[in-house]
Chain A
Amino acid sequence: MRHFGCARRTTFMSGAPIGTVPFLFDSAARGSDMSGSNLFTGTLDILVLRSVESEPLHGYAIGRTLRDGSEGVLAVEEGALYPALHRLERRGLLESRWGKTETGRRAKFYLATDLGLAHLKTEHLRWSRYADAVSGILGTAES
């Protein structure tokens, strides 16, 4: 049986042992302010938006993109993706319509809206700055 990542005993920011990381996918849509204490808020939003930036994908395909792209680091209960999709759509960042997969099965496809694309752009920028800052500090500490 193959496991993605180290699902069961990750040491997280708080230092407390945790199980799966439901709140990563669970982040309430309120605020994507990354300068606050909630480091991962909005991360999933960016990743999802990114995956449907240019072409519509159904849920499974989005999940697969995320899994493949992160090499298993973002291991979660996979179904948690759906509430996130739902929420993004509700916020107007995604739109959806029903269509057919290559094998002819009916599926709901998601695609980033213009608002979603704009959101992705700003969040991407903030994320990069943030990541640079963290890397900078880590780099400094190492040297």
Chain B
Amino acid sequence: MARWPFRREPGPGEFHGDPTEGIREEFRLYLELRTEELTAEGMEPEEARREAERRFGDPEVFARKMRNESSVGVDSLGGGGMMGQLVQDLAYAARSFRRSPGFTAVAVATLAVALAGNTAIFSVLDAAVLRALPFPEHDRLVFVNGYHLRDGERAIRMASVPEFRDWKARSRAVRPMAAVDLNSVTISGDGGAERAYLEVVGEDYFALLGGSTSVGRTFTADEYAMPDGFPVVVLSNELWQTRFSGAADVLGRTLEVNGRVVSVVGVMSADFHGVNLETDLWAPLGMISLVGRSDFLESRGTRFLGVIGRLAPGLTPEDAEREMDGVAVELQGMYPDTHEDRYAEVLSFRDGYLGTTARLLWILFGAGALLLVIASANVANLLLVRANARGRELVVRRAVGADSARLWRQLVTESLALALVSGVVGLMLAGWALRIMTRLVPEGVLPAYAEPSLSPRVFLFTLGVLALVGVIAGMAPAVSSARRDLATALRSGGRGMAGGGARTQQWFVVTQVGLALLLLVGAALLTRSFQAQLSVDPGLELDGVHAFVVVPPRERYPDAESLRLFTDDIVQGVAEVPGVSDVVASSDLPFRGGSSGAFVAREDDIENPIRYHRHSVTPGYLETLGVGLIEGRVLEESDEATSPGVVVVTKAFVDRVFPEAASGVGRRIWAGNPADPDNLAEIVGVVENVRYRNLTQDMMDGPNSPDVFFSSRQRPMRGMNVVYRVVGDGVQAGPAVRRAVASIDPQIALYDMATLRALYDDQTATPRFAAFLMGIFSALALTLASVGVYGVLAFAVGQRGQEIAVRRALGAQAGDVARSVVFEGVRLVAFGLVLGGVAAYFAADLLEALLFNVVPNDPMTFVSTAAIMLVVAVVAAAVPAWRATRKAPVEALLGD
């Protein structure tokens, strides 16, 4: 261009592309020339240099502004429209994040972790609690559970067939009703023996659950009704595939169920797994003899059926239960023998499947949400501090006419961009978190239909949460900057968060501390509950005990004598395996369930029977399990089928049945119908109480329904647990044990191999899971809250640098300064703790159903968690406090 009187020189940094190089050189030249000017006016060179620098101002600020202006300035060129602005805002946000990687990393990591946790929990909650159950009109499906009310306890939940018919005929609220009996059976025939779940079902069952066949048909009215008339089954899709390779000509083919030959009449569609969610095959109620006896169909007192039904439109389970109360009273009048104290409860499918799991999941979800709030507060705080550092820029830009909506948009865009990046990272972490979580969730906590996954629903949820977090976290600095006017901002030198901002920050910290306390209290309560469960003495020697289950089929082992022989054979066969010792068998095993409840009475008082748990065991069983003998003797080989009936009972039994007696040995009881003299048995020994069924509930259950051990020779068992100790590594004994069983009867399936320790661990798995997850959440919350406390104090110290310097200059000791900073922190935290404590006091009640031996509002827990928070807060305050004392007075004054 002709107007330039000289040629272009190469600029500094032009070749290696550093734009700041040129800026610095410009500044340098200015300062040199200015110094020369001042020197020429008579100043000393050094003084002149300082004066030049003073008048110039902070070069860093200007350099930064020049780089910033390069992007923000663009909009003055009219770079068009909303989209254009959005792109600019995003670009600006990206640049500003790149410039402060530390801030960005903290914010992204914090949010991402909280989001990952939330997403994982939501996917579990969604799968188990929110999503539709795999049945049509699932909201109206209910379980109808009969029960006896004895000693304030609900017992014997199943229904007998005649009872079910009476319910079905009388109920208007629940119709249709259908009966189903779940059994674990051995199926054999071509393809070897295996365990399978068989549902013996009544009419309307398939229609009620919306089950349809893909091949063949379900059952006919005759098949349902005729006892032992039609040995037919319907297969699940899986069993059809595994056992018949999905053969099209499966209809009419046969297999054996518990040794009885049955033929296939249909295959269910792939999405149907029965009301028990894992059923392999179905038989009509008429074929109850596959698992029991045909006369069960007429016996009013033989209760084994589960009952399901559909609520009439508009009715709730409570409505139906009220109706069932009326039915119960009517039946009590008609059949006083079998219906005394007999009622029925009506539970929605959802409640039936989930029990307390729903509450647990909601609580964990709530905990995750609180964690997210705490994390968001931190991000908002960080944004606030940053916005404040740019406070003057923002205020001035508004003052010179920058559209204030535009500034808001930019702040929110920035935090949304942050949230978005966190979201991407969070979702990547979520897959991982979900895998960990599903591994942590103990077996049986989630119903089988619940398969948590990162589904589109979960994705949408996370996206929604993200948007919310982004907008809210971005609003905070926007609101706070909007509140400040030009004059205030300028007066405070552009650094102060006069009023609004600082107050907002403090509220964030108070909220964080309060919420963190809430989570800590929850975690502490669940942990204490877990510890309480661990400290329960099961009364057993858990280690080294292995067990498996076999069920000799009725066809080949029809009577008591054959069962006795089988038991002897199997105990002897397993005992021959090297490394195996102390082999015994029992009708059931601690923590595995399966003991049958029955009623027992004192010999001298048959009018008041009590419920008890019956165990048939081989001699040596109590020794193998390490149950301590208190008095008398244990069961022995000499207690033969033909010798007088003997039992060993727990101490709880004696306390309950013979409260007046010092000793139970020698007492006699009716263990069964007093009409049969064989049912009279003498107590020969008393053992320590055993946590047999459930580690925690036996507390209440024990005295009400104590345990009685019979000799398996006198009370033979069909399904049995074979229990043994293994010297050394038990895993290696497994195959040899299987071979030993196969050599006795190759048609028998051996299943549920486990150690007693593993069964015990399952007992504490849910509380461990709950305590562990809450522990992680609260640890994260504590960390985030302390970061918040640290942040606000560090900022305050930075703000008050001048004040602190003046006070120091006026003689305040370092200790005084540090104390005042720490005090400021403690003040905030204490306020948060009070609010959080009040909230926790009420929220703790939500946990009650999940707690064992811990009261929700346990003062110890509250005090100790609050103390932890306070200590952490003081530590978090210590760093800024120390920094405040390090500020040299003069330096601080000049720095301002």
Decide whether A and B are members of one complex: yes
* B731 on the A face (CB < 8 A): no
CB distance from A10 to the nearest CB of B (A): 12
Q: Which residue of A18, A27, A78, A97 is within 8 Å of B491 (Cβ)?
A: A18
A14:B57 contact, CB within 8 angstroms: no
Instruction: Report the nearest B residue to A61, measured CB to CB.
Output: B33
Chain B 65-80 per-residue mask, 1 if CB under 8 angstroms from chain A, else 0: 1100110111111000
Known: A77-B55, A77-B57, A91-B73. A59 touches B26 (CB 8 A): yes
| Distance A35 CA – B23 CA, assembled complex (angstroms) | 34
Chain B residues with CB under 8 A of A95: 1
| Distance A64 CA – B400 CA, assembled complex (angstroms) | 26
B62:A82 contact, CB within 8 angstroms: yes
Chain B 482-519 per-residue mask, 1 if CB under 8 angstroms from chain A, else 0: 00001100110110000000000000000000000000
Q: Which residue of B3, B55, B72 is within 8 Å of A28 (Cβ)?
A: B72
* Stretch from A104-112, A120-128, A132-140 that touches the partner: A104-112
A79:B402 contact, CB within 8 angstroms: no
Q: Which residue of A16, A37, A78, A101 is within 8 Å of B487 (Cβ)?
A: A16
B55:A30 contact, CB within 8 angstroms: no
| Distance A86 CA – B12 CA, assembled complex (angstroms) | 16
Number of interface residues of A (CB under 8 A): 49
A30:B75 contact, CB within 8 angstroms: yes
A79:B491 contact, CB within 8 angstroms: no
* A50 on the B face (CB < 8 A): no
Chain B residues with CB under 8 A of A17: 491
Chain B residues with CB under 8 A of A28: 72-73, 76, 396-397, 400-402
Chain B residues with CB under 8 A of A2: 41
Known: A18-B490, A22-B392, A90-B70. A31 touches B401 (CB 8 A): yes
B487:A82 contact, CB within 8 angstroms: no
B396:A22 contact, CB within 8 angstroms: yes
A78:B8 contact, CB within 8 angstroms: no
Instruction: Report the nearest A residue to B487, measured CB to CB.
Output: A16
| Distance A27 CA – B490 CA, assembled complex (angstroms) | 14
A30:B57 contact, CB within 8 angstroms: no
Chain B residues with CB under 8 A of A80: 57, 62
Q: Which residues in chain A, 1-42, are within 8 Å of chain B measured between CB atoms?
A: 1-2, 14, 16-19, 22-23, 26-31, 33, 36-38, 41
A106:B9 contact, CB within 8 angstroms: yes
CB distance from B423 to the nearest CB of A (A): 32
Instruction: Report the nearest A residue to B488, measured CB to CB.
Output: A16
Instruction: Report the nearest A residue to B6, measured CB to CB.
Output: A99
Known: A19-B490, A77-B57, A100-B9. A27 touches B69 (CB 8 A): no
B70:A86 contact, CB within 8 angstroms: yes
Chain B 1-42 per-residue mask, 1 if CB under 8 angstroms from chain A, else 0: 101111111111000000000110111011011100100010
* A142 on the B face (CB < 8 A): no
Chain B 372-402 per-residue mask, 1 if CB under 8 angstroms from chain A, else 0: 0000000000000000000010001101111
* A87 on the B face (CB < 8 A): yes
| Distance A106 CA – B76 CA, assembled complex (angstroms) | 31
* B51 on the A face (CB < 8 A): yes
Chain A residues with CB under 8 A of B72: 28
Chain B 110-135 per-residue mask, 1 if CB under 8 angstroms from chain A, else 0: 00000000000000000000000000
A59:B30 contact, CB within 8 angstroms: yes
* B46 on the A face (CB < 8 A): no
B487:A30 contact, CB within 8 angstroms: no
The binding surface of chain A is classed by DSSP as mixed
Q: Which residue of A18, A30, A83 is within 8 Å of B400 (Cβ)?
A: A30
A98:B29 contact, CB within 8 angstroms: no
Q: Which residue of B3, B12, B51, B400 is within 8 Å of A106 (Cβ)?
A: B12
* B58 on the A face (CB < 8 A): yes
B10:A98 contact, CB within 8 angstroms: yes
| Distance A79 CA – B33 CA, assembled complex (angstroms) | 13
Q: Which residues in chain B, 42-88, are within 8 Å of chain A measured between CB atoms?
A: 51, 55-59, 62, 65-66, 69-70, 72-77
Chain A residues with CB under 8 A of B8: 97-99
CB distance from B397 to the nearest CB of A (A): 5
CB distance from B240 to the nearest CB of A (A): 74
B73:A14 contact, CB within 8 angstroms: no
| Distance A63 CA – B37 CA, assembled complex (angstroms) | 12
| Distance A100 CA – B8 CA, assembled complex (angstroms) | 10
Total A-B pairs, Cβ < 8 A:
139
CB distance from B412 to the nearest CB of A (A): 20
| Distance A45 CA – B628 CA, assembled complex (angstroms) | 97
Q: Which residue of B30, B51, B66, B76 is within 8 Å of A86 (Cβ)?
A: B66
| Distance A77 CA – B70 CA, assembled complex (angstroms) | 21
A27:B400 contact, CB within 8 angstroms: yes
Chain B residues with CB under 8 A of A97: 4, 8-9, 11
| Distance A90 CA – B494 CA, assembled complex (angstroms) | 26
B9:A38 contact, CB within 8 angstroms: no
| Distance A30 CA – B85 CA, assembled complex (angstroms) | 14
Q: Which residue of B4, B12, B69, B400 is within 8 Å of A87 (Cβ)?
A: B69
| Distance A96 CA – B66 CA, assembled complex (angstroms) | 15
Known: A14-B487, A91-B73. A79 touches B11 (CB 8 A): no
Chain A residues with CB under 8 A of B6: 56, 99-100, 109
| Distance A29 CA – B401 CA, assembled complex (angstroms) | 10
Known: A16-B491, A63-B30, A107-B29. A78 touches B56 (CB 8 A): yes
Q: Which residues in chain A, 36-62, are within 8 Å of chain B measured between CB atoms?
A: 36-38, 41, 55-56, 58-60
Chain B residues with CB under 8 A of A63: 30
| Distance A95 CA – B56 CA, assembled complex (angstroms) | 23
Known: A79-B57, A97-B9, A111-B4. A86 touches B69 (CB 8 A): yes
| Distance A14 CA – B490 CA, assembled complex (angstroms) | 12
Instruction: Report the nearest A residue to B68, measured CB to CB.
Output: A83
| Distance A37 CA – B401 CA, assembled complex (angstroms) | 8
Instruction: Report the nearest A residue to B33, measured CB to CB.
Output: A60
Chain B residues with CB under 8 A of A58: 26, 29
Chain B residues with CB under 8 A of A90: 69-70, 73-74
B400:A23 contact, CB within 8 angstroms: yes
CB distance from A16 to the nearest CB of B (A): 4
Chain A residues with CB under 8 A of B65: 26, 83
CB distance from A108 to the nearest CB of B (A): 5
Instruction: Report the nearest A residue to B77, measured CB to CB.
Output: A91
Q: Which residues in chain B, 714-750, are within 8 Å of chain A measured between CB atoms?
A: none
Chain B residues with CB under 8 A of A99: 6-9
Chain A residues with CB under 8 A of B34: 60, 78
| Distance A14 CA – B485 CA, assembled complex (angstroms) | 11
Instruction: Report the nearest B residue to A42, measured CB to CB.
Output: B400
A30:B58 contact, CB within 8 angstroms: no
Q: Which 6 A-B pairs have the closest CB atoms?
A: A77-B57, A16-B487, A79-B56, A29-B76, A98-B11, A98-B9
Which residues in B have some Cβ–Cβ distance to A below 8 Å? 1, 3-12, 22-23, 25-27, 29-30, 32-34, 37, 41, 51, 55-59, 62, 65-66, 69-70, 72-77, 392, 396-397, 399-402, 486-487, 490-491, 493-494
- Give 24 pairs: A residue, B residue, CB < 8 Å, sorted on A: A14-B487, A16-B490, A19-B493, A23-B399, A26-B65, A28-B400, A28-B401, A30-B75, A30-B402, A33-B401, A56-B4, A58-B29, A60-B34, A77-B55, A78-B55, A83-B62, A86-B69, A90-B73, A97-B9, A98-B22, A99-B8, A99-B9, A107-B26, A111-B4
Which residues in A have some Cβ–Cβ distance to B below 8 Å? 1-2, 14, 16-19, 22-23, 26-31, 33, 36-38, 41, 55-56, 58-60, 63-64, 77-80, 82-83, 86-87, 90-91, 95, 97-101, 105-109, 111
Given A58-B29, A86-B70, A109-B6, 20 more A-B residue pairs with CB atoms under 8 Å apart are A17-B491, A26-B65, A28-B396, A30-B400, A55-B5, A58-B26, A59-B30, A77-B57, A79-B56, A79-B59, A80-B62, A82-B27, A83-B69, A87-B69, A90-B69, A90-B73, A91-B77, A98-B11, A99-B7, A106-B9
